[in-house]
Structure 1
Amino acid sequence: MILVTGANGRPGSAVVREFARHGTPVRALVRNPEKADDLRALPGVDVVDGDMLWPETLESALAGVDRVLVISNAGPEMLETQCTFIDAATRAGVGHIVKFSGKDSVEGFDNEKFRSSRSHEQIQRYLFASGTPWTVLQPSQFMQVYFEEVPDIVRSGELRLPLGDTTMAPIDIDDIGEIAYAVLTTPGHEGRTYAMTGPEALTMAEVAGHISDAIGRPVRYCDVTSEDKQRAWLEAGYPPPRASAFAQLFQERSRLGRSTVDLTTHEYFGIEPTTFAEFARRNADVFRGATDYSVTPA
């Protein structure tokens, strides 16, 4: 049996949907079962509830599991949450742990400088020392994070971010789902790290252009200061630690300025990378404000 944790979140649900698309049974761990109706409606999905921080809640989730994909939100408790879960999975006899991590596409980005990316590095070191066979997935920025700019796009026709001429190489979460499915269902991935980006390094003006083309209305990029964006995030209800962390992250991306495209993982698994233009067209109703979207968890 294969277990996917964090299955209610964006990447976890994408992986579960990929299993359902292939007709492959999968177990989905959620902390809040009341939000898992969409997962229960998928064929072959066994939804179980439990808290990764509390091993006593995980016995049924881990029973008979051979492989697990470890995902949790990137909040302040991520380090403790995932290390605690790794211990529980190892004790339960799980034979292969796949860690969902991240790698910024911007050249020169130092993961150790920022809480979330530093926590991923610390968790990886803990996993490597656990003695359980491992694989690490390292996607770049998700294309879906641009959904969070929809209120500004709808209200003012502006994509307001503090990035100047910096390029990003975002990846569609559905691409990540395909890659994760391949890693979890085929042999030979132990001890390997799979980095991945989208197929293009785009300025925010180019991102705005693709959204504009998709929705049939002008959208222009407006470069703002990180302080202004942090205030906007706080006004939108972001928790202060998250707004501050995002501001620091965007300052560093702006300082470094340029992203590198890495499609080696897509090519290895024979997966055609989704362009941002394709993504924007597929989600045109979201960018028009006509369809609800899920925000990144705090």
Structure 2
Amino acid sequence: MSKVYIIGATGRIGSSVVKELLEKNVQVTALVRDPSKAERLFGQSSNLTIVKGDYADLDGYKSTIAGHDRLFLLVHSINMAEIKVNLATIAYAAGVKQVVHVSSATVCGAWRESFIATQHYDSEIGLLSIPNRGKYVTLRPNQFFSNLLLSDDKTIRAKNEIYGTADPDQGLHWTSPNDIAKVAVTVMTEPVEKHDNCVYNLTTVKYSGNERAAIVSKVLGKEVKYVQIPVEQRYKIFTDVVRMPHFVAIGLVSIEDLAAPVNKALPILLGRPVESLDAWFEANKEKFL
């Protein structure tokens, strides 16, 4: 049975990965800044080891990575490429056989198209270039359903509206966070050789703004409209309301209508159909009320 080390354990995707692995009776070690938060999320389990640390303090990580054969790597930082390569290099040197890395579908666009794409591209190149590395599996999701919690939750409460720069009937590509976690767990609990150095594009579904508004309206039991807004207004929402730095906000608005093909093969990895926005929103509707 695999022994898995998790970076990013207390985030939305990472916490789902940890919970699914524990349900499968897999031994898990999680590097976290706040052990008390991890304990609240995961409770007590003989299969779970919590290690305190962060990207600037890797002593705990270095002393506990040996003995694991898989590393789940999800990093949010403006220096993500350097951090990821450092973590993976230490892991491979300690005997880890497989790194499962959450990247982004943005790397499939034009080279250095945005700050976000560049960060993920540099991460992938850096990980691939580690000397004498083990297997490296790349997961490339598009925008998450949970991105709706960046601003849609606020505008729904205030005005019963959701905003975007795309045409109301233009289909945009989305990924369920639960599906990302499920694919990661599948990869890390099946033979390393099966997934080799695979890249899995994780765009699961396509919805237009009007379709999203219809789903939200149905789940919340009230009319919610999609409103197309100028890109300048969208940028101000991200910078003034969500408090994103310029280089992140400009990157998001630049690629908000990025087109990525839906991966029709994902049910093979999931062992079930992909999650719909209807199901995800129903499970998270209290966050929008």
TM-score, normalization: structure 2?
Answer: 0.88
The aligned residue for residue 240 of structure 1 is 245
**Alpha-carbon deviation of 1:93?**
2.1
Letter in 1 for 2:284: N
Q: Deviations over 1:260-287 (max 9, x none)?
A: 3213133244232011112122222222
User: How many angstroms apart in 2 are the aligned matches of 1:247 and 1:226?
Assistant: 9
The aligned residue for residue 203 of structure 1 is 208
**Aligned CA distance change for structure 1 residues 266 and 60 (closer, same or farther; 3 Å):** farther
RMSD in angstroms over aligned alpha carbons? 2.2
User: How many angstroms apart in 2 are the aligned matches of 1:173 and 1:263?
Assistant: 17
**Aligned CA distance change for structure 1 residues 61 and 100 (closer, same or farther; 3 Å):** farther
CA contact (8 A) 2:32 2:52 kept: yes
User: How many angstroms apart in 2 are the aligned matches of 1:126 and 1:102?
Assistant: 15
**Alpha-carbon deviation of 1:104?**
4.5
The aligned residue for residue 273 of structure 2 is 272
- Matches for 1:30-109 after TM superposition, within 5 Å: 30-41=32-43, 43=45, 44-73=47-76, 75-104=77-106, 109=109
The equivalent position to 1:251 in structure 2, one of 246, 249, 254, is: 254
User: How many angstroms apart in 1 are the aligned matches of 2:240 and 2:111?
Assistant: 28
TM-score, normalization: structure 1?
Answer: 0.86
**Aligned CA distance change for structure 1 residues 251 and 119 (closer, same or farther; 3 Å):** closer
Letter in 2 for 1:266: P
- Matches for 1:111-190 after TM superposition, within 5 Å: 112-130=112-130, 131-132=132-133, 133-148=135-150, 149-165=152-168, 166-187=170-191, 188-190=194-196
SS at match of 2:143: coil
CA contact (8 A) 1:196 1:264 kept: no
Letter in 1 for 2:50: V
**Alpha-carbon deviation of 1:162?**
2.0
**Aligned CA distance change for structure 1 residues 97 and 201 (closer, same or farther; 3 Å):** same
CA contact (8 A) 1:234 1:240 kept: yes
Letter in 2 for 1:265: L
Ranges in structure 2 where 5+ consecutive residues have no aligned partner = none
SS at match of 1:118: helix
Q: Deviations over 1:83-105 (max 9, x none)?
A: 11122212222221111111149
SS at match of 2:195: coil
Deviates more, 1:4-13 or 1:231-240: 231-240
Ranges in structure 1 where 5+ consecutive residues have no aligned partner = 289-298
User: How many angstroms apart in 1 are the aligned matches of 2:87 and 2:153?
Assistant: 35
**Alpha-carbon deviation of 1:62?**
0.7
**Alpha-carbon deviation of 1:143?**
0.7
**Alpha-carbon deviation of 1:135?**
1.0
User: How many angstroms apart in 2 are the aligned matches of 1:210 and 1:251?
Assistant: 25
The aligned residue for residue 28 of structure 2 is 26
Identity of aligned residues (%): 23
Q: Deviations over 1:51-73 (max 9, x none)?
A: 23444342233131111011111
